[in-house]
Structure 1
Amino acid sequence: MNARSAVVYSILRLLAFIVPFSLMMLFPVMREYYWLSAIFAALIGLSLSMLFLRRPLDDVATSLADRRTRRRSGEVADAEAEDAAS
């Protein structure tokens, strides 16, 4: 798996939550209802990631699918070798 793309995607997702949450915590009303700020920041972060982080998500998903395919093909090759040996 390409670890760099997974790390980049994770950091961008965290920033998509932390930045709106930090901005909302600047308002005194939102400091009192921090849980409401967290909910709004999560919704904003989800929306931002769906709009702007499609390519990093595709990179991570592709590398995970490739890794899984290689693992399965290795298992099939091992099973065929065992069958041939018996």
Structure 2
Amino acid sequence: MRTRSVVVYTVLRLLLFVVPFGIMMLFPIMREFSWLAAIFAALIGLSLSMLLLRRPLDEVTSDLAERRARARGQVSDEDAEDAAVDDSEPGTTGQV
């Protein structure tokens, strides 16, 4: 598994929470209700991460899926298709 993609995704998710939380803590009313600022920052961070972090999330999940498949000894669909084409008779392309 690529640790770089996991670290990048984690840091970006934390930033999407910390930055709105810090901005809200600048307001005097939010200093009194810091728990409310944390809830709002979590909602803002979740919304922004769904919009902006789709590609890093896809990288992390595909890396996790590859790692799980290797641990189980499963063959991916692409590898199975390549093996089927390699095992086909010489002179045929495998197409109808």
Q: Deviations over 1:24-82 (max 9, x none)?
A: 000000000000000000000000000000000000000000000000007xxxxxxxx
Could you say what the CA RMSD is over the residues aligned between the two structures, in angstroms?
A: 0.9
SS in 2 for 1:30: helix
Determine if the alignment matches structure 1 residue 41 to structure 2 residue 50.
no
Instruction: Tell me the TM-score normalized by structure 2.
Output: 0.76
| Larger-gyration structure (1/2) | 2
Give the aligned length.
Answer: 74
Structure 1 unpaired stretches of 5+:
75-86
After TM superposition, the runs of 4+ consecutive aligned structure 1 residues lying more than 4 A away are none
SS of structure 2 residue aligned to 1:55: helix
Higher helix share: 1
TM-score (norm 1): 0.85
Aligned to 1:70: 70
What amino acid is aligned across from residue 24 of structure 1 in structure 2? M
Unaligned runs of 5+ in 2: 75-96
Amino acid in the other structure paired with 2:37:
S
Q: Secondary structure at the match of 1:26?
A: coil
